[in-house]
Amino acid sequence: MADYSRDEVLAKVRGGEKLARADLRGLDLSKAVLDKVDFRRADLEGANLEGAKLKGANLANANLVEAYLKDADLRDAKLDKADLEGANLERANLEGADLKRASLEGATLTEANLSRALVVNASLEMADMGGAKLEGATLSHAEMSEAYLGAAKAKGADLSNADLSRANLEEADLTEANLTEADLSEAKGPGANFTKACLQRANVSQAVLAGANLTGADLRGADFTRADLHGAKLTGAKVFGATFSEANLDEIELEFIDASTDGDGTRRITGDAALEMLRSGRPSAEVPGRRYFGKGDVMRNAALEFGDNSFVEIESRFEKCSIALGAGTELVVGDAGVLQSCTIEGAGNIIIHGRFLEEKSPGIVGPKRLIVSSRGAIQATVHQPEGHTQFAFEPGSRLRLNIVRPDDEKGR
């Protein structure tokens, strides 16, 4: 039983009283004017707040489980850590609202306006966000597995590190959205628009993105293993380090791709070569400056030098070799590649899926970037150049590293 009746609540609001911690369960407050009211930690479970005016209200930590908030005005409301599980927020206006760490599990947000809302670390599992407005919203690290985002308008939204596994993104507009390191595994996004979106290092494995528009999207380091990209548009996509193994690439629209490390368009691959690169995961033989050392070969005591902006992939075994990399050169040690007692020197980018095991220290000198994937292993001392090295280590990578600063010969 609620502490107060509707009339008592309205009287308190008129008198400027707080309703923090009040027990208001199941109360009918539909269409009530409750702007800027303090409802912190109030219990509003199952309350009817249909069309209520709650602009700027403080509902932090409030219990709004299964509350009915259809058409409610919650602009700039504070809802951080509020429990909105199973709540109905259809067409609610949450523009600029603070929903940090809020629980919206199974909530209905159909056509709700979440523009500029802060939804960081919120739980939105199985939430229905069909047609919701998410322009400029921040949903980084949000749990959104199995959520429905069909026809959602999320242009420029920040969904970095969000869990969107098994989510439905059909025909959603994610133009210029930030999906860096997001988990989109097994997501369904037929017809979704990812134009110029950033999906760097995103997990898109087994996702269904048939007919999706990925024009100009940044897919560097993303995993599209067994993804369905049938009929998708990939022209201008930045694909360095992306994996498309066993992906369905039938009838994709592809005029060119950007295979440069920095995604700056300096390595543009066109036509069949581009498709071949996506299918095989590496540039085709026609690409100038490409060197490939295949499986089964062994090379010992060799000195290899690669010019600027080359692409080198090693699936062989190298022993006691010295490798010099020109500026912008990419050296990929494939899954089967092993560099035993070798040294690498130069301002290149090194990506290790296989193994690098040094004997003489430092094994690696002056790299611009060093990435070790989840499958890779490295035992080495890395001497950084002036301006430092960019490091990226995927979870699961095996590391025994001694990183030496350019001004610190002692290492750390």
Report if residue 130 touches another protein, rule: CB under 8 A. yes
> Which range, of 35-43, 64-72, 254-262, 381-389, touches another protein by CB under 8 A?
64-72
**Distance between CA atoms of residues 283 and 242, nearest Å:** 12
Q: Tell me, what amino acid is at 69?
A: L
Report if residue 144 touches another protein, rule: CB under 8 A. no
* 319 contact partners, CB below 8 Å, separation of at least 6: 298, 299, 300, 301, 340, 341, 342
Of the two residues 46 and 289, which places its CB atom closer to another protein in the complex? 46
Residue 281 · residue 243 · CB < 8 Å: yes
Q: Which of 398, 330, 395, 397 is nearest to 368 (CA)?
A: 330
> Which range, of 163-171, 215-223, 247-255, 296-304, touches another protein by CB under 8 A?
163-171
Report if residue 194 touches another protein, rule: CB under 8 A. no
Report if residue 126 touches another protein, rule: CB under 8 A. yes
Report if residue 171 touches another protein, rule: CB under 8 A. yes
Task: State the nearest-atom distance from the C-beta of 219 to another protein, in Å.
Answer: 24
**Distance between CA atoms of residues 146 and 163, nearest Å:** 9
Q: What is the DSSP string of 155-182?
A: TT-B-TT-B-TT-B-TT-B-TT-B-TT-
> Which range, of 7-15, 167-175, 239-247, 306-314, touches another protein by CB under 8 A?
167-175
Residue 240 · residue 265 · CB < 8 Å: no
Of the two residues 149 and 198, which places its CB atom closer to another protein in the complex? 149
Task: State the nearest-atom distance from the C-beta of 150 to another protein, in Å.
Answer: 4
Task: State the nearest-atom distance from the C-beta of 351 to another protein, in Å.
Answer: 35
Q: What is the DSSP string of 234-290?
A: -TT-B-TT-B-TT-B-TT-B-SEEE--TTSSSSSEEEHHHHHHHHHHSS--TTSTTE
**Distance between CA atoms of residues 208 and 166, nearest Å:** 10
Report if residue 123 touches another protein, rule: CB under 8 A. no
- How many residues interact with another protein (rule CB under 8 A)? 24
Task: State the nearest-atom distance from the C-beta of 167 to another protein, in Å.
Answer: 12
Report if residue 150 touches another protein, rule: CB under 8 A. yes
Q: Which one of 148, 293, 318, 356 is in contact with another protein (CB under 8 A)?
A: 148
Task: State the nearest-atom distance from the C-beta of 111 to another protein, in Å.
Answer: 8
Q: Which one of 33, 46, 262, 369 is in contact with another protein (CB under 8 A)?
A: 46
Report if residue 68 touches another protein, rule: CB under 8 A. yes
Bond into 362 cis (ω within 30): yes
Please give the biggest Cα pair distance in the chain.
88
Report if residue 128 touches another protein, rule: CB under 8 A. yes
Q: Which one of 123, 138, 168, 195 is in contact with another protein (CB under 8 A)?
A: 168
Token pair listed for 273: 């070569």
Q: What are phi and psi of 356, to 5 degrees?
A: -130, 115
> Which range, of 10-18, 126-134, 320-328, 380-388, touches another protein by CB under 8 A?
126-134
Report if residue 311 touches another protein, rule: CB under 8 A. no
Of the two residues 39 and 68, which places its CB atom closer to another protein in the complex? 68
Q: Which one of 71, 80, 143, 170 is in contact with another protein (CB under 8 A)?
A: 170
Report if residue 26 touches another protein, rule: CB under 8 A. yes
Q: Is the dihedral of CA 96, 101, 103, 104 positive or negative?
A: positive
Residue 146 · residue 129 · CB < 8 Å: no
Of the two residues 120 and 172, which places its CB atom closer to another protein in the complex? 172
Of the two residues 183 and 358, which places its CB atom closer to another protein in the complex? 183
Task: State the nearest-atom distance from the C-beta of 233 to another protein, in Å.
Answer: 18
Q: What is the DSSP string of 280-327?
A: HSS--TTSTTEEEE-TT-EEES-EEEE-TT-EEEE-SEEES-EEEE-T
Report if residue 71 touches another protein, rule: CB under 8 A. no
Of the two residues 51 and 156, which places its CB atom closer to another protein in the complex? 51
Q: Which of 129, 24, 117, 131 is nearest to 87 (CA)?
A: 129
What angle (nearest 5°) sits at the alpha carbon of residue 103, between those of residues 100 and 104? Answer: 110
Report if residue 146 touches another protein, rule: CB under 8 A. yes
- Applying CB under 8 A, which residues contact another protein? 26, 45-46, 48, 50, 65-66, 68, 86, 88, 106, 110, 125-126, 128, 130-131, 146, 148, 150-151, 168, 170-171
